[in-house]
């Protein structure tokens, strides 16, 4: 194995050996050595790195307009070119830092600064950029990480969660249309209830998801406010006037999301309330997905000894010992993802509660949990839709059989014989193992002909 080659980089604390084939610098290397936590399996999310690259390019362009004597055209072009490579994923191996680092994310900000400076210098063919003086111009870690956090969260919602949610809701709408004539037994408290059309049951699932979509959109709007321009403590020290507004406008134009500068930077640097609200909407979606997935696996239970009112796709063998067994595995992955998102919500909430004075220092863990939730929900919904929901088929014969045997059809008799007599009819039918009609006639509450006139299960839905 070839030995690792190194180069010498330096920062304000002195010289550091850095792998020669990597663009990061001294501060990144110090962090890499000082935080051997997570065994490299929990790196700073790629979404945060891409968001950083976008904001660094926007900052360079804003500085080019506002501070042209310092941000030359050549420097701006080099930063933007390097940032585009980072956004494309071409330099992903140059960001080695883990989530478990400084709570402000300072070292990841410097990781981006160093990579953009060194890659920009390579593009320029000479030493042109300094990570602090040029790439970090008019910025601080304290305003860039909250900005990257909002950019990454808003982008994840727009590009991952909402498209997957829309497709799942539309698939349910199609399933709803297919089953408008399928009558089945409704259930409350896991007990038989009055009839319902399968399409009505599906409509409840669909409407829940559509409401979640509305809630997530509404909760995501405050994420469009950016802290960039507040610098160290919210005062905007070392940033030129108008930098905050201009950089936000450039980001909005670049990313197609209506980002704008936060009116109060002291709030933007220390509060994570927007993240809490947005993740709360993701948790609401997780709760509804848990309910829908459980409904589907209950309805598909069996195939002979359960409810068996629907069939779902058989994707893989379900047992290493029981031949022919098939399990509702897509429902199970949805419910596990839902549990993870609910747990993540606690982490996000706890992180948000820990702001002290002019800064919150739980930013990386908030980013990690929020972005994991967004990714998991989107991927889970896409898999659930394609591998389960699209293949749901109603077992109409079983549904009809269950409806005909349901004692709660007796509810149709309430207006005719009253609640107490109807209850006695149901109790006798259950106790004696006879039909509702037989019980009602035997009790003398109605004649057979009168019973048939008022008993129409299909009209109860």
Long-range Cβ pairs for the range 185-190 (8 Å, 24+)? 185/399, 185/402, 185/403, 185/406, 185/408, 186/408
Element housing 187 (H / E): strand 183-188
- Residue 341 CA, chain-centre distance (Å), reads 8
Q: CA-CA distance, 11 to 15, in Å (whole number)? A: 7
Residue labelled with tokens 């935080």: 35
- Cα dihedral sign, 326-330-333-339: negative
Set 10, 88, 319, 404: catalytic member: 319
Backbone angles phi and psi of 260, in degrees to 5: -150, 160
Tell me the two tokens of residue 272. 């994570």
The answer to whether the CB of 317 falls within 8 A of the CB of 252 is: no
Give the three-state DSSP class for 344: helix
Is residue 11 left, alpha or beta, with left meaning phi > 0 and alpha meaning psi from -120 to 50? Answer: beta
Is 319 annotated in the active site?
Answer: yes
Set 3, 12, 39, 189: catalytic member: 189
Q: How many Å from the N-terminal Cα to the C-terminal Cα in the chain? A: 73
Is 456 annotated in the active site?
Answer: no
Strands 225-226 and 260-261, how do they pair? Answer: parallel
The residues that are catalytic are 189, 319
């Amino acid at each position: 194995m070839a030995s690792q080659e190194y180069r010498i980089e330096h920062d304000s604390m002195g010289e550091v050996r850095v792998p020669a084939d990597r663009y990061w610098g001294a501060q990144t290397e110090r962090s890499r050595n000082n935080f051997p936590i997570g065994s490299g399996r929990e790196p700073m999310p790629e979404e945060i790195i891409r968001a950083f690259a976008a904001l660094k390019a926007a900052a360079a362009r804003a500085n080019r307009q506002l501070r042209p004597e310092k941000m030359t055209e050549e420097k701006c072009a080099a930063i933007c070119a390097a940032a585009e490579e980072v956004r494309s994923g071409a330099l992903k191996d140059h960001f080695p830092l883990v989530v478990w680092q400084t709570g402000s994310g300072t070292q990841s900000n410097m990781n981006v600064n160093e990579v953009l400076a060194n890659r920009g210098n390579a593009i320029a063919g000479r030493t042109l950029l300094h990570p602090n003086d040029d790439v970090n111009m008019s910025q601080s870690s304290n305003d860039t990480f909250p900005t990257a956090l909002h950019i990454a969260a808003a982008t994840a919602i727009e590009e991952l969660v909402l498209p997957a949610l829309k497709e799942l809701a539309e698939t349910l709408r199609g399933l709803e249309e297919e089953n408008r004539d399928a009558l089945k037994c409704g259930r409350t408290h896991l007990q038989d209830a009055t009839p319902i059309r399968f399409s009505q049951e599906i409509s409840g699932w669909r409407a829940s998801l559509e409401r979640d979509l509305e809630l997530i959109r509404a909760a995501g709007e405050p994420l469009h406010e950016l802290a960039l321009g507040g610098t160290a403590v919210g005062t905007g020290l070392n940033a030129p006037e108008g930098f905050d507004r201009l950089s936000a406008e450039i980001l909005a134009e670049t990313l197609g999301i209506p980002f704008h500068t936060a009116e109060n930077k002291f709030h933007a640097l220390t509060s994570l309330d927007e993240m809490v609200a947005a993740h709360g909407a993701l948790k609401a979606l997780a709760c509804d997905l848990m309910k829908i997935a459980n409904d589907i696996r209950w309805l598909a239970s069996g195939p002979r000894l359960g409810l068996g009112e629907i069939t779902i796709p058989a994707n893989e063998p379900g047992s290493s010992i029981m031949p022919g067994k098939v399990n509702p595995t897509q429902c199970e992955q949805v419910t596990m993802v839902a549990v993870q998102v609910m747990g993540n919500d606690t982490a996000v909430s706890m992180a948000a509660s820990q702001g002290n004075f002019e800064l919150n220092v739980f930013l990386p863990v908030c980013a990690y949990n929020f972005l994991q939730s967004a990714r998991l929900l989107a991927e889970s919904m896409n898999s659930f839709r394609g591998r389960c929901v699209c293949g749901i088929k109603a077992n109409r014969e079983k549904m009809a059989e269950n409806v005909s045997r349901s004692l709660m059809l007796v509810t149709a008799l309430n207006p005719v014989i009253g609640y107490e007599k109807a209850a006695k009819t149901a109790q006798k039918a259950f106790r004696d193992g006879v039909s509702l009609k037989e019980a009602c006639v035997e009790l003398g509450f109605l004649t057979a002909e009168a019973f048939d006139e008022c008993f129409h299960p299909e009209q109860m839905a």
